[in-house]
């Protein structure tokens, strides 16, 4: 197991270093400029309107979809290359400023009033990456499901060998102990959340291939996941859950405990959102910063130290990939269990 983790980390570190070198080498006209590590890090962790493969060697433009007060605009992000280039649309002139589509006048000056009338529904690299992970999840589970039907009663094989232990782990060590006898109705949600985070965490470890998207390091994505858990918790909360919030014991603590409990309703999903976002984002920034030391010192002799430290952090990130998926899932199960368990329910359903 340790050798597999080390091999994965070596591959990720190789792509990281290779991508950094190719990205730098692809801009010979900027050699005289001072290297900006902060700008480089932000370029690799923010969402974009194009997909970069192998550094800057291969760029795949993504569709721009804009809904304006005058109608729908649809065109390729290739129209914005290089950044700052003006595209004359059907209704407005557009420019890409720091990966944000802006309405501009003929001279390229941003028109803030018109920009506020434009809703951006573009397919960014995070959206495309989410679709990619969705396809991977469908392939894994449909293949495993077909194998179970074909090999009924036989030992698991192939993808079954990977999927089955994880599902049993989520059931026996996450859902059942924390939710109790009603765990079955929440298993699809917990499995979807766990595998979705796991797949995207792993893809995010390969910053320059394929695509280098940072989905779980995007707070909009973690907010959506946390909001789904928030809805599940409060829509399934029983009378004991709401009584604990609005009728705490003893009664003379009402003025203190009720506001505290109401804040707790929102602090739980906020904790889920920030924990996943901050941990995944920090890992990306640290690794990119370590690789950037090569260009900050402007010497290849620092490369062994830089890549060595990056590799060390990458090994830790392999563990974080699994850990953050597990932590998000078990906390979700714990919060759901607090809302749905009956007051007298102390025993767990026995799994046969």
For 56-104, the pLDDT digits (tens) are 667 788 889 999 888 898 888 888 876 667 888 888 888 888 778 888 8
Give percent of the chain with pLDDT exceeding 70: 82
Buried b (16+ CB within 10 A) or exposed e, 220-249: ebbbebbebbbebbeeebeebbeebbeebe
Residue 87 shares a structural domain with residue 138 = no
Q: Which residue has the higher pLDDT, 337 or 152?
A: 337
**Residue 142 contacts residue 131 (beta carbons within 8 Å):** no
Token readout for 60 is 């795949």
Report how far apart, in Å, the C-alpha atoms of 78 and of each of 48, 59, 82, 209, 276 are: 12, 9, 8, 20, 32
Instruction: For residue 22, give every residue at least 6 positions away whose Cβ sits within 8 Å of its Cβ, in sequence order, or none.
Output: 54, 55, 56, 57, 208
For residue range 282-330, list pLDDT tens digits in order: 888 888 888 888 888 877 788 888 888 888 888 888 888 899 999 999 9
Residue 306 shares a structural domain with residue 170 = yes
Q: Is residue 139 part of a domain?
A: yes
Residue where one domain finishes, among candidates 122, 139, 163: 122
Report how far apart, in Å, the C-alpha atoms of 258 and of each of 238, 255, 263, 336 are: 17, 6, 9, 20
Residue 296 shares a structural domain with residue 332 = yes
> 7-16, 54-63, 247-256, 271-280 — which one is most confidently predicted on average?
271-280
Residue where one domain finishes, among candidates 104, 122, 140: 122
Of the candidates 338, 348, 125, the residue with the CA atom closest to the CA atom of residue 236: 338
Can you point out the beta strands (E) in 93-188? Answer: 93-97, 100-104, 119-120
pLDDT at 1: 47
Q: Which residue has the higher pLDDT, 232 or 203?
A: 232
Averaged confidence pLDDT in the chain: 80
- State the DSSP code for 94: E
281 falls in which pLDDT band (50, 70, 90)? confident
Report residue 96: phi and psi, to 5°. Answer: -100, 110
- The mean pLDDT of 209-238, rounded to a whole number, is 86
- The mean pLDDT of 222-228, rounded to a whole number, is 95
DSSP per position, 330-347 = HHHHHHHHHHHS-TT--S
Q: Which residue has the higher pLDDT, 161 or 228?
A: 228
Residue 251 shares a structural domain with residue 218 = yes
Q: Is residue 173 part of a domain?
A: yes
54 falls in which pLDDT band (50, 70, 90)? low
14 falls in which pLDDT band (50, 70, 90)? very low
Q: Is residue 38 part of a domain?
A: no
| Structural domains in the chain (count) | 2
Residue 92 shares a structural domain with residue 205 = no
pLDDT(177) > 70: yes
pLDDT at 13: 47
Q: Is residue 285 part of a domain?
A: yes
Residue 78 shares a structural domain with residue 158 = no
pLDDT at 19: 47
Q: Is residue 97 part of a domain?
A: yes
**Residue 127 contacts residue 115 (beta carbons within 8 Å):** no
Token readout for 53 is 């493969």
For residue range 338-347, list pLDDT tens digits in order: 999 876 544 4
pLDDT(2) > 80: no
Residue 277 shares a structural domain with residue 144 = yes
Residue 225 shares a structural domain with residue 111 = no
pLDDT(147) > 60: yes
Domain limits for position 78 = 63-122
Residue whose tokens read 């194009």: 50
Q: Is residue 214 part of a domain?
A: yes
Residue 113 shares a structural domain with residue 184 = no
**Whole-model pTM?**
0.80
Residue 159 shares a structural domain with residue 71 = no
d(CA 221, CA 211): 18
Residue where one domain finishes, among candidates 71, 93, 122: 122
Q: Is residue 54 part of a domain?
A: no
pLDDT at 129: 85
Q: Is residue 106 part of a domain?
A: yes
pLDDT at 212: 61
pLDDT at 33: 62
Residue 141 shares a structural domain with residue 289 = yes
Residue 177 shares a structural domain with residue 103 = no
């Amino acid at each position: 197991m340790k050798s597999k983790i080390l091999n994965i980390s070596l591959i990720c570190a190789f792509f990281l270093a290779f991508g950094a070198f190719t990205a730098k080498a692809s801009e010979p006209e900027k050699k005289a400029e001072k290297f900006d590590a902060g700008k480089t890090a932000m370029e690799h962790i923010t969402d974009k309107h194009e997909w970069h493969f192998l550094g800057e060697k291969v760029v795949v433009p993504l569709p721009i979809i804009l809904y304006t007060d005058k109608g729908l605009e649809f065109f390729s992000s290739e129209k914005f290359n290089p950044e700052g280039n003006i595209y004359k649309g059907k209704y407005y002139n557009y420019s890409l400023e720091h990966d944000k589509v802006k309405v501009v006048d003929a001279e390229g000056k941003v028109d803030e009033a018109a920009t506020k009338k434009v809703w951006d529904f573009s397919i960014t690299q995070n959206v495309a990456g989410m679709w990619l992970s969705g396809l991977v999840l469908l392939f894994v589970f449909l293949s495993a499901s077909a194998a179970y039907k074909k090999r009924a009663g036989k030992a698991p094989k192939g993808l079954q060998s990977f999927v089955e232990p994880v599902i049993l782990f989520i059931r026996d060590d996450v859902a059942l102990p924390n939710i109790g006898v009603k765990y079955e109705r929440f298993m699809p949600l917990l499995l979807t959340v766990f595998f979705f985070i796991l797949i995207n965490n792993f893809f995010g470890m390969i910053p320059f291939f394929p695509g280098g998207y940072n989905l779980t390091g995007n707070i909009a994505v973690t907010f959506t996941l946390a909001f789904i858990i928030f809805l599940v918790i409060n829509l399934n909360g029983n009378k004991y859950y709401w009584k604990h919030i609005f009728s705490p014991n003893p009664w003379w603590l009402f003025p203190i405990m009720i506001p505290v409990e109401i804040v707790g309703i929102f602090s739980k999903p906020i904790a889920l959102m920030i924990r996943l976002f901050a941990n995944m984002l920090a890992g990306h920034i640290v690794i990119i910063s370590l690789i950037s030391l090569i260009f900050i010192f402007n010497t290849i002799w620092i490369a062994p130290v830089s890549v060595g430290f990056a590799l060390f952090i990458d090994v830790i990130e392999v563990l974080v990939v699994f850990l953050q998926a597990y932590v998000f899932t078990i906390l979700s199960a714990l919060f759901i269990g607090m809302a749905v368990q009956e007051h007298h329910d102390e025993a767990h359903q026995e799994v046969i």
